Structure 1
Amino acid sequence: MTSATTGTNGITGATATTGHGDDWRAWQDSWDRQQEWYLPDREERFRVMIDLVEAVAGPEPVVLDLACGTGSITDRLLRRLPGARSVGVDLDPALLTIARGTFAGDDRAEFVTADLRDDDWTRKLPRRDFDAVLTTTALHWMDTGALNGLYRTVASLVRPGGLFMNADHMPQEGTPLIDAAERALRLRRQEEQKAAGTPDWRAWWELAGRDPVLADAVTRRSEIFGDHSDGDFQPQEWHARTLREAGFREARTVWCSVPDAMVAALR
């Protein structure tokens, strides 16, 4: 029998051994904490992203949440812009289970299982014209050739005058001392978070795999992806240039931290 006492990270003691059950909001919150382990400015990039969506597409955009995971972008979008609608697409069965559970009964959000590496993945979408396509910290696992092709496909999904934004790891060359200083600070803060009970990537997935409501989906995920690995990392300039070559009229960096950046492209 597990205890229900609250730990230092705000998660009940029961989660230390059994996870969150079908409390989907608790799963969303724990995913956010785990992601913030690596991305302390995660909420800031969401804010900038949705500000620009509203600026370009107004208060009721139709959005494709690309490689949506648990629906983190959809969550922020619908809270900020209640008149928006979102279609989330991903291949991960565990994260999609959390997304579908979180938004069950909300007809503004729907989720599609599809592999972005398949040539025909767009056929699974309920529509092919979006005011905005948004993604964050997800596409770095694709190699350069696959991402180049994906950008061309995305251009066909964004309506004229619509927007695409990708926030991800986009390292820049020429500042090794700045990069090292930022990384050292980030690692120190991660150690502090670990001491406070925040799970890292591996610990979070171990927790999910032990929970009966997610165990089967986590097993299927492991069969699909194997060990998590990253693809190629390209600088901001590459993303902007490749998006223009894919058919977008304008593309540039609209937000950045030391290791990450967000590139926006107007169709």
Structure 2
Amino acid sequence: MDVAVSTTALHYLPAPVLASTYRALAALLRPGCALVNGDHFPPEESPCADLTAHVGRRRVERTGAPGHEDEDWESWWRAAAADPELTDLFEQREKTRPASGDGNQHLSVARHTELLHRAGFRHVTPVWQAGDSRVLVSLKG
């Protein structure tokens, strides 16, 4: 396989499961090929968290799609849950959701990088960022 891509999914995995997932993906990828992960990565240091969140909100304000300027992640999910066509899917989602919290494991880019290196990815770098949303590219060694 030449590339594996994930968006806004891997942040739900606990570190041991994420490490196993990264190892499995590394086993599927040929040397020099890439894993691309677009996800939410919290800042490494908590004093930067407010600034990161502010930058992300301001970007949405500047570039928001018409009619969706005030829509954040939570309001998007509320609107989707209110759609009658999605009722069955949301019922299934609620059955498998973690009992507490939002399920986000809040692992930093540094922690993901550490797990990726252990899994066999030699080069790991963010190639895009807006607030805490980033695209992280990892090349298999």
Asked whether the 8 Å contact 1:255–1:261 carries over to 2, the reply is yes
Change (3 A) 1:191 1:261: closer
Shift, 1:250, TM fit: 2.7
Asked whether the 8 Å contact 2:56–2:132 carries over to 1, the reply is no
Q: Secondary structure at the match of 2:51?
A: helix
Q: Aligned-pair RMSD on alpha carbons? A: 3.2
Q: Which amino acid aligns with 1:232?
A: Q
115, 122, 130: which one pairs with 1:242? Answer: 115
Q: Counterparts of 1:266 and 1:190 in 2: how far apart (Å)?
A: 30
Shift, 1:258, TM fit: 4.5
Written as runs of structure 1 = structure 2, the 5 A alignment for 1:79-118 is none
Q: Counterparts of 1:189 and 1:254 in 2: how far apart (Å)?
A: 17
Asked whether the 8 Å contact 1:182–1:258 carries over to 2, the reply is yes
Q: Which amino acid aligns with 1:218?
A: F
- Report which of the two structures shows the higher radius of gyration computed on alpha carbons: 1
Which residue pairs with 2:91 in the alignment? Answer: 219
Q: Counterparts of 1:251 and 1:172 in 2: how far apart (Å)?
A: 17
Change (3 A) 1:187 1:237: closer
- How many percent of aligned residue pairs carry the same amino acid? 31
Q: Which amino acid aligns with 1:157?
A: L
1:154 aligns to 2:25 (yes or no): yes
1:256 aligns to 2:129 (yes or no): yes
Which residue pairs with 1:76 in the alignment? Answer: none
41, 51, 54: which one pairs with 1:181? Answer: 51
Q: Which has the higher contact order (CA 8 A, sep 6+)?
A: 2
Q: Counterparts of 2:18 and 2:55 in 1: how far apart (Å)?
A: 31
Asked whether the 8 Å contact 2:43–2:52 carries over to 1, the reply is no
Q: Counterparts of 1:252 and 1:185 in 2: how far apart (Å)?
A: 20
Structure 2 gap segments, 5+ residues each: none
Asked whether the 8 Å contact 1:168–1:262 carries over to 2, the reply is yes
Deviation by residue 1:97-154 (Cα, 9 ceiling, x = unmatched): xxxxxxxxxxxxxxxxxxxxxxxxxxxxxxxxx2111112221111111111111111
9, 30, 34: which one pairs with 1:138? Answer: 9
Q: Secondary structure at the match of 1:160?
A: coil
Q: Secondary structure at the match of 2:43?
A: coil
Change (3 A) 1:188 1:254: closer
Q: Counterparts of 1:185 and 1:164 in 2: how far apart (Å)?
A: 26
Which residue pairs with 1:164 in the alignment? Answer: 35
TM-score by length of structure 2 reads: 0.70
Q: Which amino acid aligns with 1:224?
A: T
Which residue pairs with 1:232 in the alignment? Answer: 105
Q: Counterparts of 1:175 and 1:226 in 2: how far apart (Å)?
A: 25
Q: Which amino acid aligns with 1:156?
A: A
Asked whether the 8 Å contact 2:35–2:138 carries over to 1, the reply is yes
Q: Secondary structure at the match of 2:90?
A: helix
Q: Which amino acid aligns with 1:262?
A: V
TM-score by length of structure 1 reads: 0.41
